[in-house]
A and B are shown apart, each in its own frame.
Chain A
């Protein structure tokens, strides 16, 4: 997509007169971007909540007493209690892990599929490209949630909490955008002079692909994956809400919202808090992706 040489030339008149690398330029841009810092801090806090929930709350999310049903905020339970008398704050904090787990794993999976398909389609071109592009078209022909509903409904017959079923569903159905972006950047980079130089010096296709083309095609790919991470987290919540995502004893924002919604007339707080956390998490990743894109592709501004 972006042309790295153009960007370097355009940004070259640096105060010190030294030319910086593409990544160096991008980092210099990012450091001055307030949106980047806001989203980065949010992401760090979210990751802390996911991996060390006990830092934020000492309560056990599974310890529920029906006597506390729908009670307002008290002491440590600053968000009050839900329908089953569980501490909403503790459950919301512990719910972060499921979202991040599913989000990160499914995005990694989509990333690997997108990388392999996009790189091969872009590099080899011809029949490989035609076949892979048609495959992408076909996958895009099934609106994401509709495919997910059929697929994870089928996988979720087992006894577990559904983390793997949801991860697999999201990974298999969301690699298309990553593959498309990777393909077009590879095609743009492939015709650069330094790739031709490498080829003339006798570099093997593998070396050309991984040493010259891939590193220079990563920028937009990483941006797409960051945004995908956000949307996959939202998708997990939606699937859990509909009853084909996480289930059983799993602590998840989508499940919390689904349960609390039935009692919203009586008690609104069990609905509001997980909603805010979910929206903030998705927002953090989408903002981060936006900020990185602006840094790597100044032409868009």
Chain B
């Protein structure tokens, strides 16, 4: 296990610098006028130009710029957005509601995906199984830009079951519909993985042993099979987080939830380069850390992984 952790950490350091470099390069590399890239189609005043040049050290070499960018990231100094607000402060304001939304979405997705996946796996090839497979196909094909506005239209504006937008301190009820929308972006893959691994585990020797011992079928399914089937689902958490982050940008914009995604979407629309780069960099770092944690957790749960 120790060797595995060390190797993963070393890989993580490489990926960390690589990924932040990619974000940085996407923004600044090979740009005739980096300041124009930061402010979009607005015209930059001389004082703004000077401020941005100083902030991003644009008068120095590319690698030096990257060095200062990393230093800022690691010390929590993200600079100021074009509106003059401190980006770290904006991020701190926006976090709580986004985290609540994400946790709600993950809980909804996991509850639906795991129960449905287990039932589909038990009745493999049956009507229920084929029905859920078709549903997952439909869900996979639903881009978030279709799901979020349509869900708002149908369930909030027409049926009036949920509020269409949230207030400043979003309540749980107000976040329910957005969380459902966000959950649907990850349900399909979770469900399919649960189903496949349940199908595989049902054929395993330990299941036959448990049955031969005379355990109740329900106990075999929901304790023995489920526990082992959830291991591959755990690895999905890392990937799903990326999908949820992308989904949150659109979902928060549609439902007016004042979270991280909403701020990012506003930053994109108002072409606020410093804000976009700052927010994206922090999200990428969180994504990498969670993925590292998931990898270690996976190795702890399934000893076979450590010896790959």
Interface residues of chain A, those whose CB is within 8 Å of chain B, are 134-135, 137-139, 141-147, 149-151, 153-154, 157, 230, 234-235, 237-238, 241-244, 254, 257-258, 260-261, 264-265, 268, 271-272, 275, 278-279, 282-283, 286-287, 290
Among B11-50, those with CB < 8 Å from A are 11, 14-16, 18-19, 22-23, 26-27, 31, 36-37, 40-41
Docked pose: A174 CA to B71 CA in angstroms: 29
Q: Known contacts A138-B14, A143-B245, A238-B144; decide if A261 and B283 are in contact (CB<8 Å).
A: no
Instruction: Return chain B residues, CB-CB under 8 Å to A271.
Output: 149-150, 153
Instruction: Please tell me which one of the listed residues A153, A235, A238, A254 contacts residue B276 in the complex, with CB atoms under 8 A apart.
Output: A153
Instruction: Return chain A residues, CB-CB under 8 Å to B18.
Output: 134-135, 137-138, 141
Are A147 and B26 interface neighbours, CB within 8 A?
yes
Beyond A137-B18, A145-B246, A282-B141, list 5 extra A-B contacts (CB 8 Å).
A137-B11, A242-B253, A257-B145, A271-B153, A282-B142
In the complex, whether B113 has a CB less than 8 A from a CB of chain A is: no
Are B143 and A234 interface neighbours, CB within 8 A?
yes
Are A241 and B283 interface neighbours, CB within 8 A?
no
Docked pose: A260 CA to B148 CA in angstroms: 13
Instruction: Return chain A residues, CB-CB under 8 Å to B23.
Output: 142, 146-147, 150
Instruction: Return chain B residues, CB-CB under 8 Å to A146.
Output: 23, 245-246, 280, 283-284
Instruction: Return chain B residues, CB-CB under 8 Å to A144.
Output: 242, 246
Instruction: Return chain B residues, CB-CB under 8 Å to A142.
Output: 19, 22-23, 284, 287
Are B157 and A265 interface neighbours, CB within 8 A?
yes
- Minimal beta-carbon separation of A286 from chain B (angstroms): 5
Q: Known contacts A261-B254, A271-B150; decide if A150 and B137 are in contact (CB<8 Å).
A: no
Are A278 and B249 interface neighbours, CB within 8 A?
no
Docked pose: A226 CA to B245 CA in angstroms: 25
Are B152 and A157 interface neighbours, CB within 8 A?
no
Instruction: Return chain A residues, CB-CB under 8 Å to B27.
Output: 150-151, 154
Q: Known contacts A145-B246, A264-B152; decide if A134 and B14 are in contact (CB<8 Å).
A: yes
Docked pose: A139 CA to B21 CA in angstroms: 10
- In the complex formed, the residue of B with least CB distance to A278 is B146
Are B153 and A264 interface neighbours, CB within 8 A?
yes
Docked pose: A258 CA to B250 CA in angstroms: 10
Are A237 and B153 interface neighbours, CB within 8 A?
no
Instruction: Return chain A residues, CB-CB under 8 Å to B159.
Output: none
- Minimal beta-carbon separation of B86 from chain A (angstroms): 20
Are B284 and A157 interface neighbours, CB within 8 A?
no
Instruction: Return chain B residues, CB-CB under 8 Å to A137.
Output: 11, 14-15, 18
